[in-house]
């Protein structure tokens, strides 16, 4: 299994404005999540927000059967983070970052 964690740090004080602008419930839950669930090799995931005064952020964690699954879903640059659309650039505290983790067997 591979876990993909995408983090977008938001300018302090703008997290609620960003969430309202992109309508996260509609974008992620109603439109995006069904697409993920239908993807071959998608195992599950969660969307989180951190309401920090100094480092607010959105974090999307997805779990995939193997590296081939997210590569097939997102394309050849699956290992890097997505670009920020121009209309959301003012919310960005830094470029989005993506991490990938493989499962460590635990006895």
CATH number at residue 56: 3.30.70.100
Q: Is residue 59 in some structural domain?
A: yes
Q: Is residue 87 in some structural domain?
A: no
The pTM of the full predicted model, rounded to 2 decimals, is: 0.82
Q: Is residue 83 in some structural domain?
A: no
The token pair at 90 is 């003012």
The token pair at 42 is 């998608």
Which residue did the predictor score with more confidence, 39 or 25? Answer: 39
pLDDT digits (tens, 9 = 90+) for 46-67: 989 999 999 999 998 999 999 8
Domain that holds residue 60: 2-76+96-102
The C-alpha atoms of residue 27 and residue 31 are separated, in whole angstroms, by 5
Q: How many structural domains comprise the chain?
A: 1
Q: Is residue 49 in some structural domain?
A: yes
Is 30's pLDDT higher than 80?
A: no
Residues 102 and 34: beta-carbon distance below 8 Å = no
**Nearest-5° Cα angle at 80, 78 to 84:** 105
Q: Is residue 107 in some structural domain?
A: no
Q: Is residue 89 in some structural domain?
A: no
Q: Is residue 16 in some structural domain?
A: yes
- Torsion, Cα 39 4 27 23, to 10 degrees, reads 170
């Amino acid at each position: 299994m591979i876990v993909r964690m995408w983090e977008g740090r938001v300018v302090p004080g703008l997290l609620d404005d960003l969430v309202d602008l992109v309508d996260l419930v509609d974008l992620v839950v109603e439109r995006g999540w069904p697409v993920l669930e239908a993807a071959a090799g998608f195992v599950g995931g969660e969307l989180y927000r951190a309401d920090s005064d100094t480092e607010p952020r959105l974090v999307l964690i997805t779990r995939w059967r193997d590296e081939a699954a997210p590569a097939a879903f997102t394309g050849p640059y699956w290992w890097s983070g997505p670009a920020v659309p121009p209309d959301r650039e003012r919310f960005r505290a830094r470029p989005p970052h993506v991490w990938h983790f493989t499962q460590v067997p635990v006895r």
